Amino acid sequence: MSATSAVPPKTMRWNGDTSGWLTMIDQTLLPVEFKEIDCRTVEQVWEAIKKLRVRGAPAIGCAAAYGVVIGLQTLPKTADRKTFDARLKEVTGYLAESRPTAVNLFWALDRLNATAARFAQLSPQEMHARLLEEAKAIETEDREMCAAIGRHGAALLADGMGVLTHCNAGGLATAGDGTALAVMFAAAAEGKQIQVYADETRPLLQGARLTTWELQQRGVPVTLICDNMAGWVMKEKRVQAVITGADRIAANGDSANKIGTYSVALLAKAHGIPFYVAAPSSTFDLTLKSGEDIPIEQRAAEEITNGFGRATAPEGTQVYNPAFDVAPAELITAIITEKGVIRPVTEANVRKMVEG
């Protein structure tokens, strides 16, 4: 598969029946190499999530759902329902340990557990098939949610606008067209000329490696900038809107996303530029009152000191590497969901949109 294919490749696909396997793009290799990996054990799915071979909140949720189906394959044919349920608990608990911030992971695992509880009368084989159906439904619904987010968000972009984004909230991060990028794809499909500015997104460069790759494939003009250029690009009036994705949104609208998003939101505020978050309802965690309660993943120091093949700091340098930060609701102009646009971002409006 060439890196300039006109048809966007699928982030993941399931092969076969309950004894099948999950094929995913290895996102750590892009844009240098397009390679798919086959996950045939739950440990391989866990590793793919942990190492960011599959990443982005909705995609993590979809991969984990299929990971559960794979994890149940090790049960002997003779296993009774009690043994099946115990293994299901073990597998979902294991996958839940892969990454802490994106709530879509826990949302998908909870959904499979709830499905099993609802169909307690099914045999292990029937239940296994039912859980595969549920995993496929999660993937299909995610694709539909991306399309709806695109439709709702496109109205916020006008012809000729510059739009800044951070990290990758595109097709690679979901089962569909993405969240923030779905808005841009939809606006472009309506014939609006937009110019995207992609932050490179240190330390793992999801913006430079993935967002530019996706936008180029889809023919949407994109300019790559270093993270520390965002303020100047705004000052120069090159961007009229910012759109990012989210990994977890609390009931009051505080939104966690890739580290650096908070700074971009502050910069947008300072320059009077609207700051939009695009996310499906599976990214909302209404059990959390505010962003203070969102768990922030801490990642290895080597991602900063030895990220891409060579040392960029002296050996032994002390490093702080939070993978996410939280943009408080007051900095967010609106949240674009598959159900509509939340504006202003208040707890009442969030609950009305997500629960309604």
* Site residues (CB under 6 A) for ligand MRU, limited to 262-291: none
What are the strands, taking DSSP E only, across 16-102?
21-25, 36-39
Report whether 197 contacts 229 (CB < 8 A).
no
Write the CB contacts of 344 (distance below 8 Å, at least 6 apart in sequence). 334
Cis peptide before 31 (omega within 30 of 0): yes
Is residue 285 annotated as part of the catalytic site, yes or no?
A: no
Span 202-221, contacts to ligand MRU by CB under 6 A: 206
Are 58 and 111 in contact by the 8 Å Cβ rule? The answer is no
One-letter amino acid of 63:
A
Nearer to ligand MRU, 84 or 275 (CB): 275
Is 81 annotated as contributing to ligand binding?
Answer: no
**Would you say 207 is a known binding-site residue?**
no
| Dihedral angle computed from the Cα positions of residues 281, 287, 289 and 290, in that order, rounded to the nearest 10 degrees | -60
Asked if residue 256 belongs to a known ligand binding site, the reply is no
Does the annotation flag 67 for ligand binding?
Answer: no
Which is nearer to ligand MRU, 211 or 252 (by Cβ)?
Answer: 211
Nearer to ligand MRU, 92 or 101 (CB): 101
Does residue 345 interact with ligand MRU by CB under 6 A?
no
Residue 247 binds ligand MRU, judged by CB under 6 A: yes
- CA distance linking residue 326 with residue 263, whole number of Å: 10
**Site map 52..81 versus ligand MRU, x via CB under 6 A:** x--xxxx-----------------------
Kindly state the smallest distance separating residue 303's Cβ from ligand MRU, in Å.
Answer: 10
Q: Which residues contact 144 (CB under 8 A, 6 or more apart)?
A: 176, 338
Q: Is 323 one of the binding residues for ligand MRU (CB under 6 A)?
A: yes
CA dist 147 and 153 (Å) reads 10
Is 258 among the annotated ligand-binding positions? yes
| Residues in the annotated binding site for substrate | 55-57, 99, 206, 257-258
Residues with a known catalytic role: 247
| Residues in the annotated binding site | 55-57, 99, 206, 257-258
